[in-house]
Chain A
Amino acid sequence: MDELDRILNEEQLSPPTTFVQRVMRAVMQEASTPPPIPFPWRYAFAALAAMVAILIAWFLLSPVVPSGPLARGGTDLQRTIAAIDPSLLAWCTSIGAALIGLLRYSVRFVTD
């Protein structure tokens, strides 16, 4: 064994005498703390799906009168798209983005 081995093979130190009590106090405190509430993924996805379904139904069923050149010609899809109010689309996009943002932010505070 060379000099470096001798130096690095240090003798064992003893932990403080109250170490076990100290650790166990922290452990018992940890054990008595209620576990974090898991994120309700099932409800979140159900709500998201319901919201998307409502939006789709609204677009398809709302009695919007198409205007402009496409109102008289083009396919059904083209007429539907032309009928969508741009401000409504902007609102829906904003709400969707905000929802996704809030979901991602809230996930930081919960465990699976």
Chain B
Amino acid sequence: MENDEDLAAVRAVVAGNSAAFAGIVERWQGPLFNLAYRFCRDRSQAADMAQDAFLKIFRALPSFREQSTFSTWMMSVAMNMFRSHQRRTRPNLVALDAALDLPHWGNWGLEERTSRDETVRLAVQALPEKYREAIVLFYFHEMNVDKAAQTLGIRPGTLKARLHRARGRLERNLRRRLGTEPVPEET
């Protein structure tokens, strides 16, 4: 149903009715804004990135061949944009050594928990690009491997392998710095 509405809007836009694009923006503003936010962790920057993504989607609409669902195609276009944006601007890499001057996992108050959660999310930004994208897309798609793999244009098996390695790196970095039990090095 959602795809039907999107397809109708796409055809109207391609036929010259640019105002029909508003329906697409209304339906997809939330997902695109949230996806952008997960890449930059800044609301204002996320709004700019999402706007740029919508503009790119608008320009690219005539090339949409309806071979995949509109949402998959749109997410791929947005992902490419976010990826190149992140390569252009210096990524918000967290200096884990400096940021994680925090107590043990078990002894956190609410404020510390919030701070720790944000630190963990920032730590995702410090991962190499392919692992970061795997983690971001997997959780963005509510842990749906197939959808995340489609958006990234890779096979589900490849995504699972990247997720496994990404989680390993993430947990190892965080545990080592947060002072919990050491995790053996990956071989």
Contact = CB atoms under 8 A, between A and B. Distances in A.
Interface of A: 3-5, 7-10, 12-16, 19-20, 22-24, 26-28, 30-31
B43 interface: yes
A5 to B, nearest CB: 7
B139 A10 contact: yes
Given A20-B26, A23-B29, A30-B59, A7 B121 contact: yes
Interface of B: 18-19, 21-22, 25-26, 29-30, 33-34, 37-38, 43, 46-47, 50-51, 54-55, 58-59, 105, 117, 120-121, 124, 135, 139, 142-143, 167, 170-171
A16 B51 CA distance: 11
A20 B50 CA distance: 11
B30 A9 contact: no
Contact of B55 (A5, A12, A19, A30): A30
16 contacts: A4-B171, A8-B120, A8-B135, A8-B139, A9-B139, A9-B143, A12-B30, A12-B34, A13-B33, A14-B30, A15-B29, A19-B29, A19-B47, A23-B25, A23-B54, A28-B19
